[in-house]
Amino acid sequence: MSEKLPYMYTLPNGLRVVFQPVKNQVAHAGITVLAGSRFEDDHEEGLAHFLEHSIFKGTTKRKAFHILSRLDSVGGELNAYTAKEEICIYASFSKTYLARTLELLADIVFHSTFPEKEIQKEKEVIVDEINSYLDSPSECIFDEFESLLFANHPLGRNILGTQETVHSFTREHLLAYVARYFGPENMVLSIVGQFSERKIQELSTRYFGDYNGLGKAPVLNHFQNYAPVTVEKNKSNYQSHGLMGGLAYPYNAKERKAMVLLNNILGGPALNSRLSLSVREKYGYSYSIESNYTPYADTGFFSIYFGTDKRHVQNTLRVIHKELKRLKEQKLGVVQLSKAKEQLKGHLALAGESNSGLMLALGKSVLIFDQIDTTREIYKGIDKITAEELLHIANEVFDPEKLTYLIYNQREEGEELYI
């Protein structure tokens, strides 16, 4: 992250703006809305993602072609994503075209008309996207794993929806979803680039200050009643895929930073993570082995993914359990803990080198926390983590009685899954 602090202010209509100045010819901007898939009603599975696709299909002043060409014609890129809790429409562009970009983003987010003809075409595109995920077991296993963790709750539903729900959506569904959640107080405009604060204030006010949508922040449907399960499926794959894990901490939990550090030690991106050194380097059981921690507003989860030959599933699980047990029983020494903290700081510094990622992170941070932590504050928080905290968290989160398992495996009849 840049050491220069971001500027934050709120427009008169309640829309929040966060701006990080950086010296670069390329700039990035995005609008993040607290309107992700967990806020859909029961009959709306996949609607937030469908809206993300359809929002580019026409506005009161532009057709789809003109939207898609507006930045592409000057070498920029327009994109979007849908997550469980947010939708984001964003762009990367030469800094010369800041005004063009902000005007386009405002037009897309505030004035989309969702033409019926374009909606019908987009349904087939999304169904094809759903099918492409089904063809990729290393990707669809994550969606199914969350459906097991968060059974009978919106967090467990697939962001893409189903073929049936996608085909059921109408223009009225999209307009109703926008009216429900797309209000200025439920949005954040984030910008990273080589601009003056005065210019950002002027242009953000010009293009975003007059929007008076009535959408409100959604009410959380808190997840409860987690029940661990074990599911094994026979698949015609070239290798087996496994996911195991359980519930962890939400965004605002005091344990969140320590959980990030613990996950980094266990199976983060470094080649010297414990899972990488044991499962991959020592035993050669798996090319792909990683752990992840995902926090939400009211809950969170951790997971361990591996891909391996069907002959090594049992042994891979045994080694993983051995590493979890070590973290639960052996407190990190002073040197180990210090090295782990420095490694995490380094990973965060590398992540901050991506200005596009920084823009997205700033928008989400303001949307969720309504604040931005400086690099120094983040590092101070990491430095305060103790070995005792990590031991406590490991025993709480890695409890074998609380773990859920999902295995995609082509196996012989009669083989048993080791738990």
Question: Which residues, listed in sequence order, are joined to residue 243 by a DSSP beta bridge?
Answer: 305, 406
268, burial (CB in 10 Å: exposed 0-12, middle 13-18, buried 19+): buried
Q: Is 249 left (phi over 0), alpha (psi -120 to 50) or beta?
A: beta
Could you give the angle at the alpha carbon of 346 between the alpha carbons of 341 and 349, nearest 5°? 130
Q: Which amino acid is at 234?
A: N
Which residues, at least 6 apart from 164, have a Cβ–Cβ distance to it below 8 Å? none
Q: What is the DSSP string of 271-333?
A: TTSHHIIIIIIIT--EEEEEEEEEE-SS-EEEEEEEEE-GGGHHHHHHHHHHHHHHHHHSPPP
Closest among 412, 352, 406 to 379, alpha carbons compared: 352
52 a catalytic residue: yes
Structure tokens at 212: 């008076």
Query: Out of 44, 52, 85, 290, which one is annotated catalytic?
Result: 52
Residues, the chain: 419
Question: Which residues, listed in sequence order, are joined to residue 17 by a DSSP beta bridge?
Answer: 9, 189
Query: Would you please indicate which residues are annotated as catalytic (active-site) residues?
Result: 52
